[in-house]
Structure 1
Amino acid sequence: MDKLQKKINYQFKDVDLLKQALTHRSVGKSNNERLEFLGDSILGVVVARELYKRFPHIAEGRLSRFKSYVVRGQTLGLVALDIKLSSLLILGSGELKSGGHNRKSIQADAVEAILGAIFLEAGFDAVNTVILDLFKKYINEINPNDTLKDFKTQLQERLQKFKQTLPQYELIKTTGKDHNALFTVRCLLQDQAIQVEQEAKSIKRAEQMCAEILLDKLKK
């Protein structure tokens, strides 16, 4: 815990709050889902404000794409890797057996939960500082001349360029209820005989995760 707090440059007064932020729902009722909900919103606000200030002449549509690039699951996973979060996750026995420590979605959720916990304990200015520090290099990567098309669009355009069959997305499993639901999506590239499955808290996010993986496979 001490190493983590040094990496995020924030010292919790209430360490139990940090432990809750690291606790997956598979453990029980006292988990990080509510903190994740809060952290997700705070992250969006901080990044949106920073982009608004950095790029005063860019229209809303492109700002929205820039924001999505910074707060997407992949970036959160990279932040989790930067702060060496995986070994600190508190998981239930089922998730432990299935290798939950290595699941990018669980790591991403924990990053958001930590941000929510900081906001609860210390307020907006404190979490604003932490976010801009943790996400600095990813925000700095943004080129205002880029369109930053999402992965589904990139995949579709690549396939169209080579006159290949478009990807087929299919929702194959839903677990949990209401705001706790997890969606598993399968994406098939028929011409290449490749398919992948990804799980996320929204169908859209799961589809984007599938498209990202398939793009990487096609580029190799």
Structure 2
Amino acid sequence: MYSNLLKQLGIELSPELLELAFTHRSFAYETGISTTNERLEFLGDSVLGLIVTEELYVKYPDLDESRLSPLRSGIVNMRALADIARTLELGKYIRLGKGEEVTNGRDKNSLLADALEALIGAIYLECGFEKSTTVVRQLIKETLDSAMSKGAGLDGKTALQELLAAQGKGSPEYQVSETGPDHDKSFTAVALVAGAAIAEGSGKSKREAEQSAARTALEILSLLEP
């Protein structure tokens, strides 16, 4: 069942650990099993963060923390991780409860991002940090290149503020909404310019969502400049 995925990643993992990595809590609740992918997700999130941080630190020695931090956020935010998960077709492996299944859970950004983090946690447990680093570097390569080309190495909110000031359009505003339980919230931010919605961003914190929305708005408005 997992042979194509493992071939893509260039690794071997036990079917039992992979099954755990793809077990969403909705499936566990409906079937009465006691284990979910949440512990692996917790581990994978930390492993991913360290690998990405080290990669940025080494690859961009001239960038200071104020630019490295938003660049990291441009790579490990929910939407970016979900897009990587889609390239691996992780959605088809996730074990979901019926409620999530009928609401298109297999293509939800939050579930896909969580599944990818859980997978990285599983890789770390069975293959170690060195192999995990090799796999993660390959997975994030296109996302990193794209983030740099779109200016994700800049503080999006500051850059958008400066662009609007130069255009005489005042200051941007942000409308933020949140979904999910307290321990697993997802945030969506809409960037408004002169009261008009320009772009939307998502993340696992209010700041991350606002930065994502600001960077997208910046990209859109930059294209409209004469």
CA deviation after TM superposition for structure 1 residue 198, in Å = 6.3
Structure 1 match to 2:12 = 11
2:104 matched to which residue of 1? 99
- The answer to whether structure 1 residue 204 and structure 2 residue 181 are counterparts is no
CA contact (8 A) 1:169 1:186 kept: yes
* Alignment partner, residue 70 of structure 1: 75
Deviates further, 150-159 or 31-40: 150-159
- Tell me how far apart the structure 2 counterparts of residues 93 and 17 of structure 1 sit (CA, whole Å): 22
Q: Give the whole-Å Cα distance in 2 for the aligned partners of 1:16 and 1:51.
A: 33
Q: Is the 8 A contact 2:202 2:213 kept in 1?
A: no
TM-score, scaled relative to structure 1: 0.78
Tell me if structure 1 keeps the 8 A contact 2:66–2:155.
no
The structure-2 alpha-carbon separation of the partners of 1:136 and 1:186, relative to structure 1 and needing over 3 Å to count, comes to closer
Partner letter of residue 3 of structure 1?
N
**Are residues 167 and 101 of structure 1, via their aligned partners in 2, closer, same or farther at CA, if it must alter by over 3 Å?**
farther
Distance between the aligned counterparts of 1:163 and 1:120, measured in 2? 53
Q: Is the 8 A contact 1:155 1:215 kept in 2?
A: yes
1:24 paired residue number: 24
Question: Residue 36 of structure 1 aligns to which amino acid in structure 2?
Answer: E
Q: Is the 8 A contact 1:185 1:206 kept in 2?
A: yes
> In the alignment, is the contact (CA less than 8 A) between 1:115 and 1:127 conserved in 2?
yes
Q: Where does 1:20-169 land on structure 2 (aligned, <5 Å)?
A: 20-28=20-28, 30-140=35-145, 148-164=153-169, 166-169=171-174
Q: 1:124 to 1:97 in 2, by over 3 A?
A: same
Q: 1:153 to 1:89 in 2, by over 3 A?
A: farther
Unaligned runs of 5+ in 2: 29-33
Name the SS of the counterpart of 2:154 in structure 1: coil
| Distance in 2 separating the partners of 1:90 and 1:132 | 27
Residue-by-residue CA offset, 1:8-51 (whole Å, 9 max, x unaligned): 11221x21211222222322352222211211111121122223
1:194 aligns with 2:204: no
Paired residues, number: 216
Provide closer, same or farther for how the CA distance between residues 123 and 197 of structure 1 changes in structure 2, counting only shifts above 3 A.
Answer: same
Aligned-pair Cα RMSD in Å:
3.2
Kindly tell me: are residues 216 and 81 of structure 1, through their superposed partners in 2, closer, same or farther at Cα, counting changes over 3 Å?
farther
Distance 2:136 2:115 in 1: 14
Identity of aligned residues (%): 36
The DSSP-based 3-state class of the residue aligned with 1:51 is: helix
Query: Matched residues in 1 for 2:7 and 2:185: separation?
Result: 32
**Secondary structure of the residue that 1:123 maps to in structure 2?**
helix
Letter in 1 for 2:48: L
Give yes or no for contact 2:41–2:114 (8 Å, CA) kept in 1: yes
Structure 1's unaligned 5+ residue stretches are: none
Deviations 1:185-220 (A, max 9, x none): 453626353377766432223333444555566558
SS in 2 for 1:169: strand
Counterpart amino acid of residue 18 in structure 1: L
